[in-house]
Structure 1
Amino acid sequence: MSFPFVRSEHAEPVAPALAAAVRDADLGLARGVVELAEPSPRWGEAFAALAAALLPTAPPEALALEHIGSTAVPGLPAKAILDVAVAEAPRADPGPVHDWLMSHGFLYRGEPGEQRPDRMYALELAPGLRLVNLHVVEHDGPLWRRYLAFRDHLRADAADREAYGSLKRRLAGRHPEDRLAYVAAKGAFIVPRHDPPGAGRVGTAAPRPPRTGS
């Protein structure tokens, strides 16, 4: 599926409540740089505030909002960029979700392809300083389930959480300016833990009622 959207470098002004959610939250990393920060309790607080700012105006096509990635796992070092997943209704027109995010000041960064598996948006309060990566995926589709399964696995498994943190530190030292190489090198660890044997639909989120958080 192709999307009729143009990759953007300049956004609308960031909505004040959204800016407040991510400001002074131990977030911010220059585009393309791989540098890990120590885990911060402010990351979870920032997601809660971001969700509160976004959800009241969410279109019906946006079924759920989840905090994913390493900043969603307490105790795990991470790039200081909040990863957020928006579940879009299957076969929905992508326009309403796109317009909703752009109106809040997000940048459109591109459609699924060789560099990314999802439709991606970004939030920056200063040009080039990334605070949020937002991933739009099909609700209850394979990618949505994998994002949640891996997050939930790391939250529950202390040994794997420690091992993944150590791996991330080694790879960040090896690829400090090559984000794609850093991401690719983590694959051997991540893929077997997307859906552990017998786990079924681990981490699947139910659709949210309109205008409430998940």
Structure 2
Amino acid sequence: MDNQMEQDNLPVWAFEKIEIKKPDPKWKDKGIREIEQLYILLLTFGVKHVEHIGSTSIPNMPAKPIIDLMASIPSMKSINKIVKTLNSHDWHYVPPELDKQPWRRFFVKVKNDKRVAHLHLMSEGEERWDHFLKFRNKLRTNTQLVNEYAVLKSDLAQEHNNDRERYTESKTEFINKVLLT
């Protein structure tokens, strides 16, 4: 009963199916606009770095049409104020107990009940920051990796269409392989 009540209270976008779309050159510009807006919104909290990561940041990569971004802040002390600031601009906070990734604070930007962007907010010095950049940059320079990853993502999107966590977890082996090369 409690589980059903919890699910009934979750927003529509929390259950959005995974759809991989053809590469869209507009993703780059959308990323730039989101980065610019985040700098404006988060500057007072000490944010100095915002990056467009994920598949939409890689030319010719099929992807979920969601702009993935990451930003670093000196500390998480101001997280309540950050949540309030971002919430007023269509960003929804996913608390750590739901996100299950204690190294970040996660936000989902929503328009018309659909995800349009994700923000991975990390403390400065978080090692995953470099991993995200390294992975993105390797794919940006290697079309063979892009092709392999595109096939994998397409297969996994079909296999785990309604399970974002499983979809993401299932990409880990490929990502780790790329990071080790």
* Mapped partners of 2:22, 2:58: distance in 1: 12
Distance 1:145 1:121, change over 3 A: same
- The residue number in structure 2 matching 1:55 is 39
The question of whether the paired residues in 1 share the 8 Å contact of 2:160 and 2:166 is answered with yes
Distance 1:107 1:174, change over 3 A: same
The percent of aligned pairs where both chains have the same amino acid is 26
The answer to which structure has the higher helix fraction is: 2
Give the alignment partner of residue 103 of structure 1, picking from 88, 91, 96.
88
Matches within 5 A, 1:164-175: 164-175=149-160
Q: How far off is 1:32 after superposition?
A: 3.6
Distance 1:83 1:91, change over 3 A: closer
- The residue number in structure 2 matching 1:19 is none
SS class of match (1:62): coil
Give the alignment partner of residue 17 of structure 2, picking from 33, 41, 59.
33
* 1:158 has 2:143 as partner: yes
SS class of match (2:59): coil
Matches within 5 A, 1:58-137: 58=42, 59-90=44-75, 92-111=77-96, 115-116=100-101, 118-127=104-113, 129-137=114-122
* Mapped partners of 2:77, 2:136: distance in 1: 26
1:14-51 residue CA offsets vs partner (Å, 9 max, x unmatched): xxxxxxxxxxxxxxx87441110001011110111122
* Mapped partners of 2:46, 2:81: distance in 1: 7
Kindly tell me the number of residue pairs found equivalent between the two proteins: 170
* Mapped partners of 1:155, 1:188: distance in 2: 19
SS class of match (1:35): coil
Give the alignment partner of residue 139 of structure 1, picking from 101, 115, 124.
124
Of structures 1 and 2, the one with the larger relative CO (CA 8 A, separation 6+) is: 1
* Mapped partners of 1:97, 1:35: distance in 2: 30
- Structure 2 residue runs of 5 or longer lacking an equivalent are 1-8
* Mapped partners of 2:134, 2:173: distance in 1: 16
The question of whether the paired residues in 1 share the 8 Å contact of 2:15 and 2:162 is answered with no
Distance 1:92 1:62, change over 3 A: farther
The question of whether the paired residues in 2 share the 8 Å contact of 1:138 and 1:144 is answered with no
* Mapped partners of 1:46, 1:162: distance in 2: 23
Q: Which amino acid aligns with 1:136?
A: L
* 1:183 has 2:154 as partner: no
Cα-Cα RMSD: 2.4
The question of whether the paired residues in 1 share the 8 Å contact of 2:50 and 2:71 is answered with yes
- Structure 1 residue runs of 5 or longer lacking an equivalent are 1-7, 11-28, 198-214
Distance 1:86 1:114, change over 3 A: closer
